[in-house]
Structures are given as structure tokens and as C-alpha cells.
Amino acid sequence: MAEARRAVFVCCDGLGRNWVRPEITPVLDDLRQRSLWCDAHSAVFPSVTRVSAASVATGCLPARHGLHGNRMGLIEQGRIIVRDVGDPDFRTHMRRATGATLLVPSLAERVAQAGGFIGFSNVSPGAAYFLDPEHFGRIYHRAGSFAPEGTRIEGADALAVSHDAAGDWAMTQRFCREVLADRRPAVAFLWLADPDHTMHGVPLGSPVHHDALAAAGRCVAEVFRTVERLRGEGEEILLLVGSDHGQETIGESVSIEDWLAARGLESLLEAGDVAVAGQGTAALFYATDRGRAPLLGVLDEMSHAEWAGDVLGSERLAEQGFAARGGVVAAVNMARRADVNAHGVAGWRWVAAEAGKTAAIGSGQHGGWGPDETRPFLMVNDGGRSTGTVQHPSCITDIAPTIARFLGLPGDGFDGKCLTP
Ligand SMILES: [Zn+2]
């Protein structure tokens, strides 16, 4: 009897499409020759990992899945409180404030009775848990691993790996051995910390960045080798390898809260009637009914500030695939200059300062819609049947519907579309 079909997605976090080149990432370039390559592939807004994880998992844009950013405002007792989505307990706050986590089903839910889902992730806990926030499948992360219904996985079965390239490699080896070869779920995700984790602390194009690209390539090669071996044993496996966003360089940072306070909004900020949720190279603005008019009143002046690129109100946010609800009234994409760094990489950005965090000038960052941060890569490998290039625009929301079609699952309820013929 033929084995059930399976799908595998590997995310090389933060690996922008222009870094996939034979001289830099030979493993990825080799796989690209044997795969369908998406040549106009895009991120979602904000181009941050937690929102991207939710978009990959659901096949929907943020407007529909409801997760706003890496940091997100929640209306708690009439005040807007900005919380870090990366924290393991964020979902508890989100459920309390909004009654739910994601507003649409994840792949894990779609395959819960059809082969199951296992995700291994080495990024932030929040980004890992938003792959399957209501625990329909199994999710493995160094901050805690969970079985269906949220049962905590303890002992040797939990994922105890370091948050770096060595941890990615250890996680990959276990993923190949245990998940791909042994447990064989219908959908398996492997989400690497690198190169994103390294790029946040070093100049783009530096030797350390190149090492991180090579480390991610080594993990992809191990997965591809395993998938090919299983295919040789007669299994039908769809392998997607890609990323969630790229990065650009941190030029300077600005406290948008201080800028707003200097324009008379200090008491509204203190009262939780206006709030800023920084997303690196972008920021979301929240307001209550009381804070809305004063906030909207300074947006025109903001659009002329040297640190601000585009300032978007609710209508233009909708065009970006983002719904202005849950208190969001506007967003800013931080200004960009075309300056080239010491390693020949263009793109100098203002970033939104976060209290208690220092922006590492000269290192990588993302979150907005700068050209390099919004161009992730994606290739779809079905054993060599589909090769060539998808020229039309694709998005990270296309991953879930492509997997759903391959597995023969219903294709409704996605914003994305299937990429294979
Ligand atoms: Zn990311």
C-alpha cells in the first residue's frame, strides 16, 4: 500500500532572497536547480517573525489571522497595554483580551485528524507557539514543548537545544531522525534561528553573517538528504524551503513615544489611550476612542519627520494586508537611505527604539516594508517534477495552501494560493 503523502517546510529565518547565490549559499542554489523557485516572493507586514509564523501556519494575511506584530497592543481594562508576543505566556493575555489567539485555523488544526503536525522551532517562544497556538499538534521549543491539548512534554522528549547555530544543527539532526524518518506526521516544520539570530548582532555581509548562511545551508542539506532517502523508499514528500523575511541595516533609532510626548500626547500615553508597538523598522499605533483624534492629528507632521518613511492610516494599512482593528489606527515604515555598508550591502534604516533594549547600530533588523526585508525566498521541491520559476508574485501565505493541495485537504479559507501546477 502506498504511504500517505507528507509535507515538510524548512524556514531559514531572516534569509533574504538576494543571498541565495551559488558562491554564498551553494546548498540552497543546488536545491533551487531541482525545485520550483519563487522569483517574486514577498513577506507580510509587519515583516517580523511572529506574524510571519502565523501567516505561514494559516495561509492568511495578518488582516485575517489577527496577530499584529512582534509586540502587540491589547485592550486590558480600558487601557492599551503593549505586550511582547515572544513571551511564552503572551497567548494567555491575548485570549483574555480578545477571546482567542489566531482567528483562522492553522495547518496543525487542518491535519489534526489527518496525519498530524509536528513543529521544531529555535526562534522566540512566541514565534514557535504561533505555528500552532491552540495545540492541535506537537510543538517543540527550548522554552517548552507541547503535545495536543497543551500537554507539556517533559524529559528527554522535550527540545533542549541552544539558541544558536549549534542548537539549529542539533535540532535538525533530531528532526531528520525522529520526525521525518520515524514519526512521519502529515506536516512537519523545521524553523531555524539562523541566519536571523546572527544577523541581529553583526553587519550584513560580514564573515560572521556568511558563516550563519553556511550553517543554515548545512541544516537544509541534512533535511534534503533525509527526504531523498525516504523518497527512495517510496514515500511521496513535498519539501518547501524558504524564509520569512530578510534584513536591512540599523542606522539610527528614535523613541517614537518621546516624539509623541513632545507634541502633547504624554498624558494619553501614560493613561494607555495611545500606545506605540515598535516592530524594528516599523511601528504600529494604537488608540482608544479618547486617544484616536489627538494621535491622528500628529500623523501629518510625523510623515515629515526624518525618521519616518510612509505613515499609513487604516485604509492604506488594509492594502498592506493589515486590518486596523483591535485598537490599531495607523503604522509607520521607518525611513530608509540607500547607504552601503563596509561589506557592500545597501539599505540604512531608522528603527523604533524599544524601552530597555539597545539598537545595535550597523547590525541587521527588519519589520517594515524595505526592499530587502520584504523579499524572502521560497522553493518547492516535489522530487524534481516541478522545476523552473514562478514569475508571478507569491507570498509566504502561499505555503499552507500549497501543502494543503498536495495532501488533498480542502483549499478554502486561505488568503494565499497553491504554487504548484
Ligand atoms: Zn524571522
Domains by residue range for the chain, with CATH: 6-67+102-247+372-407 (3.40.720.10), 249-365 (3.30.1360)
Q: How far is CA 163 from CA 73, 125, 215, in A?
A: 27, 11, 13
Positive or negative, the Cα torsion across 313, 316, 320, 326? positive
Residue 374 Cα to ligand 1 middle (Å): 11
CB-CB contact of 404 with 411 (8 Å): yes
Q: What is the DSSP code (8-state) at residue 231?
A: H
> Measured in angstroms, how far is the CA atom of residue 366 from the centroid of ligand 1?
8
Q: At what angle do helices 26-33 and 207-232 cross, to 10 degrees?
A: 40
Measured between alpha carbons, how far is 14 from 55 in angstroms, rounded to an integer?
Answer: 15
Give residue 1's pLDDT.
41
Expressed in angstroms and rounded, the spacing between residue 190 Cα and the centre of ligand 1 is: 13
The answer to whether residues 178 and 153 touch, using CB atoms and an 8 Å cutoff, is: no
The alpha carbon of 14 and the centre of ligand 1 are apart by a number of angstroms equal to 5
Reference 278, options 85, 53, 69; nearest CA is: 69
Ligand 1 centre to CA of 337 (Å) is 22
Going from the Cα of 264 to the center of ligand 1, the distance in angstroms, rounded, reads: 35
Contact 140, 159 (CB under 8 A): yes
Q: How far is the CA of 289 from the centre of ligand 1 (A)?
A: 33
Q: How many angstroms separate the alpha carbon of residue 303 from the centre of ligand 1?
A: 27
196 CA from centroid of ligand 1 (Å): 6
CA neighbor of 307 nearest in space, from 287, 278, 327, 341: 278
- As a whole number of angstroms, the distance between CA 14 and CA 24 comes to 15
CA 329 – CA 295 distance, rounded (Å): 9
Q: Given this model, what pLDDT does residue 421 score? A: 86
Residue 233's pLDDT is: 96
Tens-digit pLDDT profile for the chain (421 aa)? Answer: 446 899 999 999 999 999 999 999 999 999 999 999 999 999 999 999 999 999 999 999 999 999 999 999 999 999 999 999 988 889 999 999 999 999 999 999 999 999 999 999 999 999 999 999 999 999 999 999 999 999 999 999 999 999 999 999 999 999 999 999 999 999 999 999 999 999 999 999 999 999 999 999 999 999 999 999 999 999 999 999 999 999 999 999 999 999 999 999 999 999 999 999 999 999 999 999 999 999 999 999 999 999 999 999 988 888 888 887 789 999 999 999 999 999 999 999 999 998 888 878 999 999 999 999 999 999 999 998 999 999 999 999 999 999 999 999 999 999 999 999 8
CA–CA distance, 141 with 157 (Å, rounded to integer): 11
What backbone torsions phi and psi does residue 223 show, to the nearest 5 degrees? -65, -45
C-alpha 245 to ligand 1 mean position (Å): 6
CA separation (Å) from 349 to 52, 82, 98, 369? 21, 23, 33, 11
C-alpha span between 247 and 347 (Å, rounded): 9
Grid coordinates standing for 311? 505613515
Q: Are 14 and 365 in contact (CB under 8 A)?
A: no
What per-residue confidence (pLDDT) applies to 357?
81
E strands present in 59-98: 71-76, 79-84
β strands within 150-304, DSSP E: 151-153, 187-192, 237-242, 248-254, 274-278, 282-287
* 91 CA to centre of ligand 1 in angstroms: 19
**Closest C-alpha to 314, from 334, 329, 294:** 329
